[in-house]
């Protein structure tokens, strides 16, 4: 719903697992995927970035900090894309088991979910597959900046962010929920032209190709949450139809 990773919510709320959430609980939701850090004596942007495997420049930009000014002890800063370094023991059942015995589940990672043949249309007709399945069940589809992006299926917009922010690396993006209990996400837009709560039809234009967030060139980062990505079998460099 908020476009952040499961781990981000677990870390921010000191949860033991994804099952440690109950109706009525109040949860802290960070504005991006990453970590909230309380500045300690001796901390610098570089040392914090190293600790969380993040980028010092991105930390400064996201928090409006001057890289040349010492950090204020006790202040809270957000680490975009930051990760808690915990020894990993093994992967199990769609999750990661750590030496502490804790298992964290990332349910969409690697294409988890049943296939939905014929359900999704191409959100970027004519686009070229530039990266196969990665991250949260996503593929990247390249096209010139400003190319229209279409809803892959009819549904309701639940997230539409066009503030030019980092947004967990997604930049400007849209999430649509569908009647087959799945969601699709469209990232790196120049801007979205739909709003949360708006009903959209399959094929309707919802935004335009850009390179906002963590993108090195204009493309659409297309995720399917809860089902197999219909582009999972498409070869790199191909103009491919969804399966």
Q: What is the CATH number of the domain that holds 67?
A: 3.10.350.10
Query: Is residue 145 assigned to a domain?
Result: yes
Residue 175 resides in a domain = yes
User: Does residue 207 sit within a domain?
Assistant: yes
Residue 88 forms part of a structural domain? no
Has residue 157 been placed in a domain?
A: yes
**Strands in 99-201 per DSSP E:** 103-105, 128-134, 138-142, 148-150, 155-161, 172-177, 183-192, 199-200
SS3 61: helix
Position 240 in a domain: no
Same domain, 59 and 138: no
Residue 9 confidence (pLDDT): 85
Q: What is the pLDDT of residue 112?
A: 57
Confidence at residue 159, expressed as pLDDT on a 0 to 100 scale: 83
Domain boundary among 51, 80, 109: 80
Query: Domain range holding 133?
Result: 128-225
CB-count burial class (<10 Å; 0-12, 13-18, 19+) for 169: buried
CB 111 within 8 Å of CB 139:
no
Whichever domain contains 221, its CATH number is 2.70.70.10
Q: Give the pLDDT of residue 100.
A: 42
Q: Can you give the pLDDT at residue 52?
A: 87
Is 121 within a domain?
A: no
CB-count burial class (<10 Å; 0-12, 13-18, 19+) for 48: buried
d(CA 227, CA 155): 15
Q: How many domains does the chain have?
A: 2
What lies within 8 Å, CB to CB, of 100 at 6+ separation is: 86
Instruction: Indicate if 133 and 219 belong to the same structural domain.
Output: yes
The pLDDT assigned to 81 comes to 77
Q: In a structure prediction context, what are the per-residue pLDDT tens digits for the chain, which is 243 residues long?
A: 776 778 888 888 888 788 888 888 888 887 777 888 999 999 999 999 888 888 888 888 888 899 899 999 999 898 887 877 644 434 444 444 444 444 444 443 444 578 999 999 999 999 999 998 887 788 999 999 999 999 999 999 988 888 766 666 788 999 898 999 888 999 999 999 999 889 999 999 999 999 998 888 899 999 998 899 999 999 999 999 998
The answer as to whether 148 is a domain residue is: yes
186, HSE (Cβ side, Cα atoms, 13 Å)? 32
Q: Are residues 135 and 69 in the same domain?
A: no
Phi-psi label, residue 188: left if phi above 0, alpha if psi -120 to 50, beta otherwise: left
């Amino acid at each position: 719903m908020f476009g952040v990773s499961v781990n981000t919510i677990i870390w921010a709320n000191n949860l033991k697992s994804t099952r440690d959430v109950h109706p009525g609980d109040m949860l802290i939701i960070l504005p991006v995927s990453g970590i909230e850090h309380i500045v300690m004596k001796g901390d610098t942007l570089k040392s914090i970035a190293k600790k969380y495997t993040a980028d010092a420049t991105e930390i400064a930009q996201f928090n409006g900090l001057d890289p040349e000014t010492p950090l204020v002890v006790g202040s809270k800063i957000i680490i975009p894309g930051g990760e808690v370094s915990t020894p990993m023991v093994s992967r199990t059942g769609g999750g990661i088991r750590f030496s502490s015995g804790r298992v964290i589940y990332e349910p969409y990672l690697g294409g988890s979910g049943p296939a939905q043949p014929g359900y999704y249309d191409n959100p970027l007709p004519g686009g070229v597959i530039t990266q196969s399945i990665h991250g949260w069940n996503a593929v990247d589809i390249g096209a010139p900046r400003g190319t229209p992006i279409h809803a892959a299926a009819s549904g309701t917009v639940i997230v539409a962010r066009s503030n030019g922010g980092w947004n967990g690396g997604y930049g400007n993006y849209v999430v649509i929920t569908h009647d087959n209990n799945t969601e699709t996400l469209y990232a790196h837009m120049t801007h979205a032209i739909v709003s949360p709560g708006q009903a959209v039809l399959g094929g309707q234009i919802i935004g335009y190709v850009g390179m906002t967030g963590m993108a090195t060139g204009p493309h659409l980062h297309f995720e399917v949450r809860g089902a197999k990505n219909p582009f999972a079998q498409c070869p790199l460099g191909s103009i491919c139809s969804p399966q």
